[in-house]
């Protein structure tokens, strides 16, 4: 089986697991660890996805960042060119579903691709910080030229052996409800 097929299997397995798992208590622990981290404390601008129902929720991360007067930026994908920029988020009233049914800022006015802290989503991760995402390559392309700090907040069950391709980009740190890993990203 090649890496593409292995990653497809991981995606299917993890999405199924996440849909069936009550994440509430784990998310409380994740948030405590994230909000107490040096990366969070030092960040004035945060890049974060607008989570889907089966993912670890980013709603409270966004809320807390806004309460702390951090600037929040969320992904805006150009599906034709397969690129992604981070655009300023002010409130849920700014959101709409894009052409793929993913929440996005409707009329973005400010782009910031050099946020202080980027929270990187993913389905499966290894302890070195490599990840399996949804297969579009948007984050790997973005991370290949991103110089800021990267952290992923996931459930401990999402730590696993994953196949790594040459184009895969690791994160600096992974926070689970049970432990924290420092990745190989420099």
Tell whether residue 9 is among the known ligand binding residues.
yes
| Fold of the 3-182 domain | Rossmann fold (3.40.50)
Q: Which pairing describes strands 83-89 and 117-119: parallel, antiparallel, or unpaired?
A: unpaired
Cα separation, 132 vs 127, in Å, equals 12
Tell whether residue 151 is among the known ligand binding residues.
no
List pLDDT tens digits, range 77-86. Answer: 999 999 999 9
Tell whether residue 55 is among the known ligand binding residues.
yes
Beta strands in the chain (DSSP E): 45-47, 71-78, 83-89, 95-97, 103-105, 117-119, 124-125, 131-132, 149-153, 173-175, 180-182
Tell whether residue 149 is among the known ligand binding residues.
no
Tell whether residue 132 is among the known ligand binding residues.
yes
List pLDDT tens digits, range 103-159. Answer: 999 999 899 999 999 999 999 999 999 999 888 889 999 999 999 999 999 999 999
DSSP, collapsed to helix, strand or coil, labels residue 132 as strand
| 105 φ, ψ (degrees, to nearest 5) | -70, 130
Tell whether residue 134 is among the known ligand binding residues.
yes
Q: Which residue has the tokens 């809320």?
A: 63
**pLDDT at position 14 over 90:** no
Q: Which of 134, 186, 148, 174 is nearest to 34 (CA)?
A: 174
What is the number of residues in the chain?
186
Cα separation, 142 vs 76, in Å, equals 12
Tell whether residue 47 is among the known ligand binding residues.
no
**pLDDT at position 19 over 90:** no
Tell whether residue 179 is among the known ligand binding residues.
no
Tell whether residue 101 is among the known ligand binding residues.
no
Tell whether residue 183 is among the known ligand binding residues.
no
**pLDDT at position 183 over 80:** no
Q: How confident is the model at residue 4 (pLDDT cuts 50, 70, 90)?
A: confident
Q: Enumerate the domain spans of the chain.
A: 3-182
Tell whether residue 5 is among the known ligand binding residues.
no
List pLDDT tens digits, range 26-52. Answer: 999 999 999 999 999 999 999 999 998
């Amino acid at each position: 089986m090649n890496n593409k097929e292995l990653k497809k299997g991981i995606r299917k397995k993890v999405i199924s697991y996440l849909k069936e798992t009550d994440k509430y208590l784990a998310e409380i622990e994740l948030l405590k660890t994230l909000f107490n981290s040096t990366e969070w404390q030092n960040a004035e601008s945060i890049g974060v996805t607008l989570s889907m129902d089966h993912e670890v929720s980013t709603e409270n991360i966004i809320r807390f960042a806004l309460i702390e007067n951090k600037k929040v930026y969320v992904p805006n994908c150009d599906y034709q060119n397969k690129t992604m920029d981070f655009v300023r988020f002010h409130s849920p009233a700014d959101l709409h579903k894009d052409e793929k049914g993913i929440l996005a800022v409707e009329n973005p006015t400010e782009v910031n691709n050099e946020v202080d802290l980027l929270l990187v989503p993913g389905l499966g991760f290894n302890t070195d910080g490599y990840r399996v995402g949804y297969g579009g390559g948007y984050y790997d392309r973005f991370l290949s030229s991103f110089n800021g700090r990267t952290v992923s907040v996931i459930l401990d069950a999402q730590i696993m052996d994953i196949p790594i391709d040459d184009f895969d980009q690791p994160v600096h740190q992974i926070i689970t409800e049970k432990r924290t890993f420092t990745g190989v990203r420099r």
